[in-house]
Structure 1
């Protein structure tokens, strides 16, 4: 019994964790993909999650277009094209410059401040990517159905936030409370502006 009890206590947070499902729709009730959804605890400090990530360059585009990571994450930027790229950002959250390269740079870029990072390429002006750095491990981006599932969310109070690079207005955060083992569903409506036109060139 003495050996079983510690095991049960270790598993208790998993049994008590909640599941949060969020769907984002536009005013016409159509799904919004590539939107960021994240839950910030209102009390205490959020634990650290996975602190590594990858943003690819494929066919002269950033893949994925929209990424979200926790503060302190180290991201690699593999170039999978047969031409060289020069990836950079002048965003206040993180300024960096990966000089003209092929393959994968030897050192990742660490994003240690929360906020938005807009990515670009000095060679291919139409290449734009978006990285949101958040102070929580509970996040994801919506799929083609506009859905996100945040599993293993400890019970408690959270600020639930959503964001998209093309949103026409800021969406107010929602204060939510999740109970032990609960399954909660939220729907947000978001109006998007047209994305910037991409003009590919032969270089």
Structure 2
């Protein structure tokens, strides 16, 4: 028994020595930043699934989705509370998740499972200008860029594919995927080639986001 625990401790210590940090920064074609951009790593090797009972939350605040972009691991349950004092009718027709929820101030529907990787675009049947996104990724290694356009991921050393996603990015998806071999702490600096699609601040409340995918 003592030998078994010693082997386990040794294995865990070895894994901790192999852990590394990947720092990612992104600049747009006009040298600005794009906070909220989703950054994640996938691998040809099996990755840990979402923990049992993993949950996240997509709220409605001041007639907007909050957060505007939510990233979760496949298998996560997502709650849709309504912090506004008015009714919302949230829906998605995205292939990764199709659903409808009529939300009232004091109504708390059961969380929905998100079991398919992909981008889920959210709308509201009551307020056409409301638009939100859920990025469902098949990996536990994900984060989002901060206001400085930077993010960090702590992962085991190994071979990965780095992915960058945001609904305003027009660059081809293939150009946003980059093979990386992580052996120790390292940095990756990326730059977009195409201009961004219009952002939420470029629209009035009564406008529909017909050009914003």
Asked if these proteins are the same fold (TM beyond 0.5), I'd say: yes
- Tell me how far 1:96 sits from its aligned partner: 0.4
What 5-or-longer segments of structure 1 have no aligned partner?
A: none
TM-score, length-normalised on structure 1? Answer: 0.89
Q: Give the match for residue 95 of structure 2.
A: 92
Tell me, what secondary structure is at the counterpart of 1:120? strand
| Native 8 Å contact 1:67 1:141 kept in 2 | no
Contact 2:82 2:103 in 1 (8 A): no
Instruction: Choose the corresponding residue for 1:26, options 19, 25, 28.
Output: 28
State the distance in 1 between where 2:105 and 2:13 align.
45
Q: Which runs of 5+ in 2 are unaligned?
A: 207-213
2:89 is equivalent to residue 125 of structure 1: no
Which is helix-richer, 1 or 2? Answer: 2
**RMSD, aligned α-carbons:** 1.8
- Picking from 181, 186, 197, the partner of 1:177 is 181
Residue number among 144, 158, 177 corresponding to 1:156 in the alignment:
158
CA distance in 1, matches of 2:168, 2:30: 16
Count of residue correspondences: 197
- Structure 2 equivalent of residue 45 of structure 1: 46
Q: Which of 60, 64, 82 is equivalent to 2:63?
A: 60
For residues 100 and 156 of structure 1, the distance between their equivalents in structure 2, rounded to whole angstroms, comes to 44
Output one character per residue of 1:87-119: Cα deviation in whole Å (capped at 9) or x when no partner: 110111110001242245331011111111000
Matched-pair contact (CA < 8 Å) for 2:50–2:76: no
Tell me by how many angstroms 1:15 deviates: 2.6
Q: Normalising to structure 2: TM-score of the pair?
A: 0.85
Q: Is the 8 A contact 2:59 2:82 kept in 1?
A: yes
Whether the aligned pair in 1 keeps the contact of 2:81 and 2:103 (CA below 8 Å) is no
